[in-house]
Chains A and B, each alone.
Chain A
Amino acid sequence: MAFYVVQFLTGLASAASLFLVASGLSIIFGVTRIVNFAHGAFYMLGAYVAFTLTERFSGALGFWGGMVVAALVVAAVGVLVEMVLLRRIYHSPELFQLLATFGLTLMVEDLVVLIWGPNDLLGRRAPGLKGAVDFFGQNIPSYDLFLIVLGPVVLGILWLLFQRTRWGILVRAATQDRDMVAALGVNQKWLFTSVFAVGVFLAALGGALQIPRDAVNHAMDLRIIVDVFVVVVIGGLGSIIGAFVAAVLVSELNAFGILIFPKISIILVFLVMAAVLIVRPWGLFGKQEAAARRTPGLTVNPWRPLTSGERLAAMVALIVAAALPLVGGNYALTVGSEVAIFVIFAASLHFLMSVGGLASFGHAAYFGLGAYGVALLAKMAGLPMIVCLLLGPLLGCVGAAVFGFFAVQLSGVYFAMLTLAFAQIVWSIAFQWVAVTGGDNGILGVWPEKWVSSASHFYWLSLGVAALVVAALRVMVFSPFGFALRATRDSPLRSEAIGINGKRIQWTAFVIAGTAAGIAGALFAYLKGSVFPDNLGISLSVDALVMVLLGGVETVSGAVVGAIVYKALNIWLVSQTDLSKLVLGGFIVLIVVAFPKGIVGVLETIRNRRRSASSKSALVTSRIETAE
Chain B
Amino acid sequence: MSVAPILLSVEGLTKSYGGVHAVRGVSFELRAGEILALIGPNGAGKSTCFDMLNGQNVPDSGRINLLGEDTAGKKPRAIWRLGVGRTFQITATFPTMTVRENIQVALVSYGRQLFNLWRSTPGFAKAEAGRLLDLVGMGAYAERPCGELAYGDLKRLELAVALANQPKLLLMDEPTAGMAPRERIELMRLTARIAKEQSIGVLFTEHDMDVVFEHADRIIVLNRGLLIAEGLPEQVRNDPQVRAVYLGGGLMYDARHHEGAAT
Contacts and interface: CB of A to CB of B under 8 A. Distances in A.
Nearest to B147: A299
Interface stretch (B65-73, B118-126, B212-220, B224-232): B118-126
A481 B117 contact: yes
Contact of A302 (B42, B88, B96, B105): B96
B263 to A, nearest CB: 5
B117 A500 contact: no
B91 A622 contact: yes
Contacts of A486: 94, 96-97
A475 B88 contact: no
A501 B116 contact: no
B148 A620 contact: yes
Interface string B85-101: 01011111111111001
A506 to B, nearest CB: 12
Interface centre among A304, A497, A621 (most CB of B within 10 A): A497
A490 B79 CA distance: 21
Interface residues on B, range: 35 or more
Contacts of A480: 108, 113-117, 119, 121, 124
Nearest to B116: A480
A324 interface: no
A491 interface: yes
A493 B90 CA distance: 11
Nearest to A554: B96
A621 B114 contact: no
Interface residues of A, number: 43
A486 B177 CA distance: 27
A300 B164 CA distance: 25
Contact of B94 (A487, A508, A624): A487
Given A299-B145, A484-B105, A476 B117 contact: yes
A498 B150 contact: no
A627 B174 CA distance: 13
Contacts of A20: none
Contact of B88 (A481, A487, A493, A508): A493
Contacts of B12: none
Interface in B167-182: 174, 177-178
B191 interface: no
A620 B89 contact: no
Given A299-B148, A480-B121, A500 B114 contact: yes
B36 to A, nearest CB: 19
Contacts of A617: 145, 148
A305 interface: yes
Interface in A477-500: 478-484, 486-487, 490-491, 493-500
A627 B80 contact: no
Nearest to A473: B117
Contacts of B145: 299-302, 617
B147 A479 contact: no
A320 interface: no
Interface string A299-313: 111111100000000
Contacts of B165: 498-499
B54 interface: yes
Contact of B116 (A299, A481, A624): A481
Interface centre among B121, B124, B150, B153 (most CB of A within 10 A): B121
B81 A497 contact: no
A479 B96 contact: no
A624 B80 contact: no
Interface string B144-172: 01011111011000000100110000000
B184 to A, nearest CB: 14
Contact of B93 (A484, A494, A619): A494
Contact of A627 (B121, B124, B150, B263): B263
B87 to A, nearest CB: 9
Interface string A26-64: 000000000000000000000000000000000000000
A618 interface: yes
B150 A483 contact: no
A294 interface: yes
Given A498-B110, A628-B263, 17 more contacts: A299-B147, A300-B95, A302-B145, A476-B117, A478-B122, A479-B116, A481-B114, A483-B105, A484-B108, A490-B95, A491-B93, A498-B105, A498-B161, A498-B164, A618-B148, A622-B95, A626-B89
